Structure 1
């Protein structure tokens, strides 16, 4: 048994080597600068988990537009400048996904975590083909179905203040679940509760600062975090494989009901053509993982966008009035908005873009990683290093925006009230940027436009008397609104 004295000597030697290595990283290797870290913990204690967006933006004022931190033992590079983010993410060397245990655990072999360039391009080709088919089929009908269901629920509150999160959460889940698996739920469905439960557990697990990601030794011993992750994965996989099995049994060529059917059709065609390369990525398990990835990321994005929209429209009634006037002029109230109406609703689109900018709801986007040793803004970044884009810093920079702390949708419109081309805003990246930008960004925006338009046709959103909710976010994987109540009045 080691004596206490020997243990102390070992600890002192370990700490000495740790700081010698950190000195070497900063001053010899020239990795991006950053604050000194602690052994095992890194810089975690220096980060305010309740306001990490402000904390990192403040750090950039000290350490520059490219700096680094340690999350546990792993060094992470933070990009805080739009030009640097675009150049880095569009370049060839930061196209990998980092080896984050929980991401790999839940998304193994899917396009989200794919690291091999060839497989990533093949995944991208398959998924884009799938999105095109879905957009051409019943997407708008599914959005209308959910909008009408929301209308009934909102009317049932009879102008009593309520928290819209549960209803919008069900709507966003149903939209993506209907698109993905051809099925939607009611609040009382038992299966819905299972989906909410495992989705919440997964959402809490995939952040880079989750204990199992920060402390790798936790991955190899029984503990509550690993048990929760395993339970969530088993529940998810059981439900999804059952969905796939039922689709396979009832699949009819020429009748595409949802994303599962799309990918079954693509797999069948690949088998007929003898395309073994594509078939590697079209196994039943990979199909459900890719579809679930779209469902998980998409429903979360729609929910957060709708919550922020509700909050801002209630806080800024003049903005809401202009949205409603545009809808009345362009569509009227006798028919539901469609995907084709989006191009004729510049003010609504501007409100959506400003909501995404002002809230910075996608704080970091999906983490990137270097696939080889590379240089970012003169700093050495070793292969496999995690790279995060601080979109909050970009969206709230006075260098990029006039009065960035004001909610001003008209910044996205020209003098005639028409949409300005987003090329005029090279620093605005609503769905990330570069080679691994969001594949479903166009569908995602269209879903938010149509659903918001349907609701704004029918309702006016107000705050309860003498209440002003906070616009500061809660920190989950993304930035989400703190709980708030609204009153929904049917328009006369």
Structure 2
């Protein structure tokens, strides 16, 4: 009898919650029916991948609603929806979620997932410090050229033998941001540096996974889930500990006449604002800002370069055309610089097509409406999540002639001049656009050109096919592969 009453009570409560959700969903864009507790993420199998989001758009249109438990998440699909959704009322949708996982990983600090004054101060300071350190000019270019040279020497030492390029590419790109934030580079043999890279890989693999969405939907159960969530949180702690050690070394060194890296600038800023009421400049925000810059400045660029080498092996005729242009414009001894892109339209087009076709960031980190606003004609209340499917803009058939083919012609006009297409949103849009866009483009151009100037990349002997399928995660990585770098 008691069990029957309990079951009836539970069913009544679930029914009441179901009706409440249906009432709450009125006025939002259409979407799958939300259920109590689980919301409607079941409709995409708790995984925001290309196929699931495409099916969702076909069923409900280019703006639809998913429910993360009882919290609405508006999904933008296709170039027009993504562009207007992120830029029309850009400031209104510039918030970040303060969810279970984000709070565990950042606690509202730093640049990437902070809000309000903390975000505005940290982002503004971050952009200013990167500019002072040479972003976009010769100052930072020299550091990239150094890493490009080290990567060239790595492949030269292999003497054409088959090699997995993953770690040396990650090492080169990570060392660029290491020089910026820490003021020095690490050797490939440095064990702590290897652990740092592995920690970031773990964090990235956890994001956008089944377990990530499960943790956000059922935060009360997340503490008891073994495996990836615990490993990801441990990795975050390891990275923060690593950064604090670097800060300690900077403090022990004492003040210097001219700041040499991001930590120097930040320590100087803490000193300048120590008597300012409500200052957001403190060690916790410094640690998280460095954490965010390292994540944003290494993972995406390294993954794009891994795709770049794989595509050159997969499309040897395109590799050959790039090398013909490089040979015609640059002397063999020329040190590649970012300014050279203006004389190398085809090569520049290939690099942009690698970013488009590789489409490594499938969705933006979800944003949040900081006030009641309108998105594509729908009134969205404060607190609504907005998730933009960047991938759908990069493959939108209305804006790309051959979206599902690797075609550098997407970025060339009829006269062979480079053109940047409006649907190229690889770095997102609006108030949260990637602050490291210029640095990423500099790295991709200089390292890619330096490698193709020196080597022809081929498949290892006996390997007939190239696997260009993605490994799903926060970023879309290629499967592990080997190639041969043959001196030209």
TM score, norm. by length of structure 1: 0.90
Secondary structure of the residue that 1:246 maps to in structure 2? Answer: helix
1:252 Cα deviation from its structure 2 partner: 4.8
Please list, as runs of the form range in 1=range in 2, the aligned pairs for 1:185-264 lying within 5 A after superposition.
185-207=186-208, 210=212, 211-219=214-222, 224=227, 227-264=230-267
Please list, as runs of the form range in 1=range in 2, the aligned pairs for 1:17-416 lying within 5 A after superposition.
17-26=16-25, 29-47=26-44, 52-90=49-87, 91=89, 92-108=91-107, 109-116=109-116, 118-135=117-134, 136=137, 138-207=139-208, 210=212, 211-219=214-222, 224=227, 227-270=230-273, 275-276=276-277, 280-416=279-415
| 1:490 and 2:481 aligned | no
| 1:457 and 2:460 aligned | no
1:371 Cα deviation from its structure 2 partner: 1.1
Structure 1 contact 102–206 (Cα < 8 Å) conserved: no
1:389 Cα deviation from its structure 2 partner: 0.8
1:270 Cα deviation from its structure 2 partner: 4.5
Structure 1 contact 251–261 (Cα < 8 Å) conserved: no
* Greater CA drift, 161-170 or 43-52: 43-52
1:51 Cα deviation from its structure 2 partner: 7.8
* Greater CA drift, 242-251 or 137-146: 137-146
How many residues align? The count is 480
Structure 2 contact 78–392 (Cα < 8 Å) conserved: yes
1:242 Cα deviation from its structure 2 partner: 1.2
1:206-240 Cα distance to aligned partner (Å, 9 max, x none): 44851322211035558555643443233222211
**C-alpha spacing 1:480/1:137, structure 2 compared with 1 (3 Å):** same
Gaps of 5+ in 1: none
Secondary structure of the residue that 2:486 maps to in structure 1? Answer: strand
Structure 2 contact 97–366 (Cα < 8 Å) conserved: yes
Structure 2 contact 470–478 (Cα < 8 Å) conserved: yes
1:416 Cα deviation from its structure 2 partner: 2.8
* Greater CA drift, 84-93 or 199-208: 199-208
Secondary structure of the residue that 1:93 maps to in structure 2? Answer: helix
**C-alpha spacing 1:418/1:250, structure 2 compared with 1 (3 Å):** farther
1:93-117 Cα distance to aligned partner (Å, 9 max, x none): 211011222223222321222221x
1:49 Cα deviation from its structure 2 partner: 6.7
What is the distance in 2 between the residues matched to 1:49 and 1:325?
Answer: 46
What is the distance in 1 between the residues matched to 2:446 and 2:67?
Answer: 42
* Greater CA drift, 35-44 or 188-197: 35-44
What is the distance in 1 between the residues matched to 2:163 and 2:77?
Answer: 37
Structure 2 contact 346–408 (Cα < 8 Å) conserved: yes
What is the distance in 1 between the residues matched to 2:400 and 2:246?
Answer: 46
Secondary structure of the residue that 2:133 maps to in structure 1? Answer: helix
What is the distance in 2 between the residues matched to 1:110 and 1:343?
Answer: 35
What is the distance in 1 between the residues matched to 2:228 and 2:477?
Answer: 23
Gaps of 5+ in 2: none
1:48 Cα deviation from its structure 2 partner: 5.1
What is the distance in 1 between the residues matched to 2:337 and 2:326?
Answer: 12
**C-alpha spacing 1:72/1:489, structure 2 compared with 1 (3 Å):** farther
Structure 1 contact 43–70 (Cα < 8 Å) conserved: yes
1:244-289 Cα distance to aligned partner (Å, 9 max, x none): 1212332554433322223234444556xx6556xx2321221221
1:393 Cα deviation from its structure 2 partner: 1.6
What is the distance in 2 between the residues matched to 1:47 and 1:216?
Answer: 19
1:447 Cα deviation from its structure 2 partner: 1.1
What is the distance in 1 between the residues matched to 2:76 and 2:209?
Answer: 16
Alignment correspondent of 2:464: 467
1:368 Cα deviation from its structure 2 partner: 0.9
What is the distance in 1 between the residues matched to 2:126 and 2:44?
Answer: 37
Structure 1 contact 212–219 (Cα < 8 Å) conserved: yes
1:137 Cα deviation from its structure 2 partner: 6.5
Q: CA RMSD in A?
A: 2.5
**C-alpha spacing 1:305/1:207, structure 2 compared with 1 (3 Å):** same
Secondary structure of the residue that 1:104 maps to in structure 2? Answer: helix
